[in-house]
Structure 1
Amino acid sequence: MPCPDLYCVIGNPVAHSRSPWIHARFAELTGQVLTYERLLAPQDGFAAALAALAARGGRGCNVTVPFKHQAAQCAHSASARVQLAGAANTLVLQPDGQIHADNTDGLGLVADIVQGAGLALAGRDLLLVGAGGAAAGVLAPLLLQQPRRLLVTNRTLARAQALVARHAELAALQKVELFAMDTQGLDGDFDLVINATASSLAGAGVPVPPGLLRAGGLGYDMMYGAGAQDFLDWAQAQGGQARDGLGMLVQQAAAAFALWRGVQPPAAQVLQELRAAMAAGQA
């Protein structure tokens, strides 16, 4: 029998990732034959890790922090989403050695917010916290939902401004008020606050002050697990709903799986199973 096709997730850190469990379940439910691993790359070793995967016959990979910008730069071709974001979370390793980059983060985030949390984004006021690869990957799909306004905030204002500038044309086409602000002096109130920073992974607490989330609004941390709890508590303390990024993880994985295999897996079923398995300590 032929060897199973090889895929992986590359990141630093990566031991926490549930992606191997998700993709194994996708494969089982869709009749695909593959293996999926975690690959820890040194902070300065993404290109070498990608080359090693290709040398083993790897067919593709997911990319997590802090390598999403590097993933886009390593590709020979890229989707429109990647070209706009300057960041990629999904790579397709083709038999001729070419690498194609895509970004399914925003697709996963929007699907989990709109379908999972039941929050329609049209006409809403949104706050996106962070301006790194994670934020870059979701900004365009959020704009396509046509919120009323979208504020990008970051400790380094120049990074937020650069991200906003890249998306200014799309925002104008969607008639969305898009602007940037640093986290110092941040004010206003929002229907949705998205934490796209690595604060939850780093145990650095909540990256924004209280008072920003409207009562009944949604605080969404793109991370999941114990590290996200501070942000979820922050949202609930303001009378808001709280949701971690596990649904986004499954939804973006489903989009990547479909890109690799040409088959759409049942994301909602796998998310339900994953939450149950994590609660039981089995995933």
Structure 2
Amino acid sequence: MTTTTSLMRFGVVGNPIAHSRSPFIHEAFASQTGISLCYDRILAPLDGFAHTCKDFFAHGGTGLNITVPFKEQAFVLAQAHLTPRARLAGAVNTLWMANGHLHGCNTDGEGLLKDLERLDYSPAGKRVLLLGAGGAARGAVFPLLAAGCTRLHIANRNPERAQQLQAHILGHMPEFTGRLSAGALQQASGVWDIIINATSSSLGSTPPDLPGGLYASGALAYDMVYASQDTPFMLQAREQGAAQVADGLGMLVGQAAASYEIWHGTRPEISAVLKALRLALYT
């Protein structure tokens, strides 16, 4: 009988981490693709992320997913071997060891785009308002622009962080200068076809401090946080006129599938896993 000590070891690192559904997802992918693995939740101290990762790989770990609040620290940890997506994002959510070197990628944007397409809200030709400028937002900016949104505005409680993210992207891709802007959350204005909440506000009980009147006719409000019921942002969006609301469960499964492909060289099918995970949230 195979023991867990002989299995390939993976995990997700965050703080907090007890709520993570990543083990469910990767175990479902493994069953689907016939791969044996062990996947754990790993709580890292806020001041001990690098040590946690180094210890995991030193003891034979194969790959890690990274979640709040460590994606920018993961970028620094793997900065010598980053994929172009990770370098553009300035944040990493997927780590693995290859040829004795730690490598990093960001699959968040790919997961987000696939879920928006599943919801029939492809960013192409759309005006997009992105709330937040942390690790989750960083992974979304370039993919949204590359997907053809006509305008993307980053709004953050601290406007300087939003402007720094804007400058980072434009430093790599100056051709997006006319489409990318940034500013304070409370000063967001205009009307938007898609509003994406990439802040951590929905992990608490209050929505982001967002002015009213921002939703265009037929607009989607998308929260990167997922839950068994509408998040505070989704509730706020309904009150403010969003035509459709969605949480980030599909994005979670989509980014996990992209990570899984990096680690195993095979792309799992996500629809059945997403359906099973949604049912699990209600039980």
Normalising by the smaller structure, the TM-score range is over 0.9
- Provide the TM-score with structure 1 as the length reference: 0.93
* 1:30 paired residue among 22, 29, 33: 33
State the alpha-carbon separation in 1 of the partners of residues 224 and 242 from structure 2. Answer: 20
State the alpha-carbon separation in 2 of the partners of residues 175 and 121 from structure 1. Answer: 18
- How far 1:58 sits from its partner (Å)? 0.5
* The 10-residue stretch of structure 1 (28-37 or 182-191) with the greater mean CA deviation from structure 2: 182-191
Pairing 1:70-219 to 2, within 5 Å after superposition: 70-75=73-78, 76-94=80-98, 96-114=99-117, 116-168=118-170, 172-173=174-175, 177-219=179-221
- How far 1:209 sits from its partner (Å)? 2.4
Change (3 A) 1:148 1:169: farther
Residue in 1 aligned with 2:18? 15
State the alpha-carbon separation in 2 of the partners of residues 97 and 223 from structure 1. Answer: 34
Letter paired with 1:241: Q
* 2:69 paired residue among 57, 66, 70: 66
State the alpha-carbon separation in 1 of the partners of residues 13 and 95 from structure 2. Answer: 10
Residue in 2 aligned with 1:240? 243
Contact 1:150 1:176 in 2 (8 A): no
Letter paired with 2:153: L
Residue in 2 aligned with 1:253? 256
Change (3 A) 1:174 1:58: same
Contact 2:220 2:242 in 1 (8 A): no
- How far 1:240 sits from its partner (Å)? 1.9
- Provide the TM-score with structure 2 as the length reference: 0.93
Contact 1:134 1:196 in 2 (8 A): yes
- How far 1:207 sits from its partner (Å)? 3.5
- How far 1:169 sits from its partner (Å)? 5.6
Contact 1:82 1:88 in 2 (8 A): yes
Change (3 A) 1:82 1:239: closer
Q: Percent identity?
A: 44
- How far 1:53 sits from its partner (Å)? 0.8
Residue in 2 aligned with 1:267? 270
**Structure 1 stretches of 4+ moved >4 Å:** 169-172
State the alpha-carbon separation in 1 of the partners of residues 113 and 146 from structure 2. Answer: 10
Change (3 A) 1:199 1:255: same
Change (3 A) 1:189 1:243: same
Contact 1:144 1:174 in 2 (8 A): no
Per-residue deviation, residues 214-256 of structure 1 (Å, max 9, x unmatched): 2321000000115862111122221420000000000000000
Structure 1 gap segments, 5+ residues each = none
State the alpha-carbon separation in 2 of the partners of residues 239 and 256 from structure 1. Answer: 31
Letter paired with 1:6: R
Contact 1:107 1:251 in 2 (8 A): yes
SS in 1 for 2:186: coil
Query: How many residues get paired?
Result: 278
* The 10-residue stretch of structure 1 (175-184 or 26-35) with the greater mean CA deviation from structure 2: 175-184
Contact 1:200 1:227 in 2 (8 A): no
Per-residue deviation, residues 86-133 of structure 1 (Å, max 9, x unmatched): 100000123x4311000000000010001x211121111100000111
